[in-house]
Amino acid sequence: MLKNAIALALCLSVLSGATQARSSKVDKTLDANLRAYALAVRWNDFNAASTFIDPELRTPEGFTEADENYYKRFQISGYALKSAMRPDAQTYNQRVELRIIDVDYQTERTLTDRQSWRYDATTKRWWLTSGLPKLD
């Protein structure tokens, strides 16, 4: 009886460790994606930021010249995380405050970007499902 209890405890310990390791890897992937996306937005590289958009939601033409011209009208002067929520293991939501300078008028304002991310177990990658922020 004692052997069975020890064996069961050992199995549960191993399974728990494997689940934790998987979860940790998913968390590291999420952190890396969030940092890379934030850098792209912060440095106005919306072409690079667009690569984080969920492939199922991308337009067939991708990031167009019109998109590039739109985002060139603005300069991001601040990117600050305000809140984050992880409803489940495959979903992450965050609210980010963007400080935006309108290049033509040289005025600064703030905008809240509500981002939704989903984990794709097949590609082992987090995808942005809320799209790029609308800055005007």
Q: Which residues of the chain have pLDDT under 70?
A: 1-23
Write the class of the CATH domain 25-128.
alpha beta
- Per residue in 1-17, pLDDT (tens digit) is 545 444 434 343 433 44
In this structure, the chain runs to a length of: 136
Eight-state DSSP code of residue 73: T
Query: Please, what sign has the CA dihedral across residues 48, 36, 130, 112?
Result: negative
Q: What is the pLDDT of residue 23?
A: 62
Exposure b/e, 95-117, CB count within 10 A at least 16 = b: ebebebbeeeeeeeeeeebebeb
